[in-house]
Amino acid sequence: MLTIGMMNLKILYLLAMMAMLAPQINGRAVDLDQDNSLSASSSSTVPRMSRPNFVKITSPPPVQITQVRGSTIELECEVMGSPTPTVQWVHGSGQTADWDDATMNIISESSPTTMARVVSRLVLDHSSHASESTYTCIGRSGGQMALASTTVFHVEAARANFTDMMKPAHHLFMHLKPARVTLHFRALFEYMGSTVILPCKTVGRPLPEVTWKNEEGNVIGSMQDPRFRTLPTGELIINDLRWSDMGSYTCVAKNAISKDEAETFLYPIRPN
């Protein structure tokens, strides 16, 4: 009964995703075959590369936000595209905004048949000396680009009490930063037989440890299935993608002071 319920949820999720993606799939209908896998309807065999390139921002960051100096804010941007879009944050001056790692939000367009929704989060834990700053989320795919900008207004904090600043706890934790997932796929459609790379970029101090869990909450590893392995950089690799791999995968980032999670829904597609 539980298995049937989970399958129904997966099919509902698929239908919702396809309602969003339908205008992007070359004007062709997308059908569920008898085994519920996807195939594209056509009167003749259509090569995989026929899918048009596209990119769009499906959930932009706020138009404006206020940051109290000394506090941390986060900007989140969701980009959908085919092939898998790259996502990058840029400061108003044109400088890459990912100071800790300039490539942290970059995904290689290694699979031209992939369609994905990518979520990128920019963590700003230090503010500019200026009164305001602009940060732009840029999504690129197949030579196309989409962007959305946020204006951050920087304001002064109330004067801190000197006694509070001298508390031992303040000095003990002032250099620690919570674990946060800054880049993951919200959804990925990929062909069966492919090698899938599910990213999980993180920030934090100390650097978070990354593990992946399946829908049952079990840790995923090569000991259970040699087709699965987690890289030291946090990515989950799935070789020879199968229909049975369809489902949700959760990236768990954990360090000494906090834990963060991000879920990816993976849907295998049957080749034409």
Burial class (CB in 10 A: 0-12, 13-18, 19+), 174: exposed
Between 136 and 173, the more confident residue is 136
138 and 56 in a common domain: yes
How many residues belong to the chain? 272
Query: Is residue 34 predicted with pLDDT exceeding 50?
Result: no
Query: How many other C-beta atoms can be found within 10 angstroms of the C-beta atom of residue 256?
Result: 13
154 and 58 in a common domain: yes
List Cα–Cα distances, 254 to 117, 212, 261, in angstroms. 24, 11, 9
61 and 142 in a common domain: yes
Chain centroid offset of residue 64 CA: 22
267 and 209 in a common domain: yes
Domain final position from 139, 158, 177: 158
176 and 115 in a common domain: no
180 and 129 in a common domain: no
Sheet holding 228-230, edge to edge: 196-198, 236-238, 228-230
- The range of the structural domain enclosing residue 73 comes to 52-158
Q: What is the CATH number of the domain that holds 246?
A: 2.60.40.10
Task: Please say whether the beta carbons of 81 and 116 come within 8 A.
Answer: yes
- pLDDT tens readout for residues 156-167: 887 655 545 544
Mean pLDDT of all residues in 219-229 = 88
Q: Is residue 179 part of a domain?
A: yes
Q: Is residue 265 part of a domain?
A: yes
Query: Is residue 171 predicted with pLDDT exceeding 80?
Result: no
Q: Is residue 92 part of a domain?
A: yes
Q: How many domains does the chain have?
A: 2
Q: Is residue 28 part of a domain?
A: no
Q: Supply the DSSP symbol for 83.
A: S
Q: Is residue 11 part of a domain?
A: no
Q: Is residue 188 part of a domain?
A: yes
Q: Is residue 14 part of a domain?
A: no
Q: Is residue 200 part of a domain?
A: yes
- In the structure, what pLDDT confidence band is assigned to residue 8 with cuts at 50, 70 and 90? low
Which amino acid is located at 89 in the chain? W
Mean pLDDT of all residues in 23-45 = 37
244 and 148 in a common domain: no
Contacts of 156 (CB under 8 A, 6+ apart): 68, 69
Distance CA 5, CA 213 (A): 20
In the structure encoding, which two tokens stand for residue 268, read together? 């295998």
Between 193 and 128, the more confident residue is 193
56 and 127 in a common domain: yes
Task: Please say whether the beta carbons of 84 and 109 come within 8 A.
Answer: yes
Domain final position from 109, 127, 158: 158
Query: Is residue 23 predicted with pLDDT exceeding 90?
Result: no
91 and 175 in a common domain: no
- In the structure, what pLDDT confidence band is assigned to residue 60 with cuts at 50, 70 and 90? very high
178 and 139 in a common domain: no
Mean pLDDT of all residues in 69-74 = 91
Task: Please say whether the beta carbons of 186 and 111 come within 8 A.
Answer: no
Distance CA 40, CA 19 (A): 14
Query: How many other C-beta atoms can be found within 10 angstroms of the C-beta atom of residue 37?
Result: 15
191 and 128 in a common domain: no
Domain final position from 131, 158, 185: 158
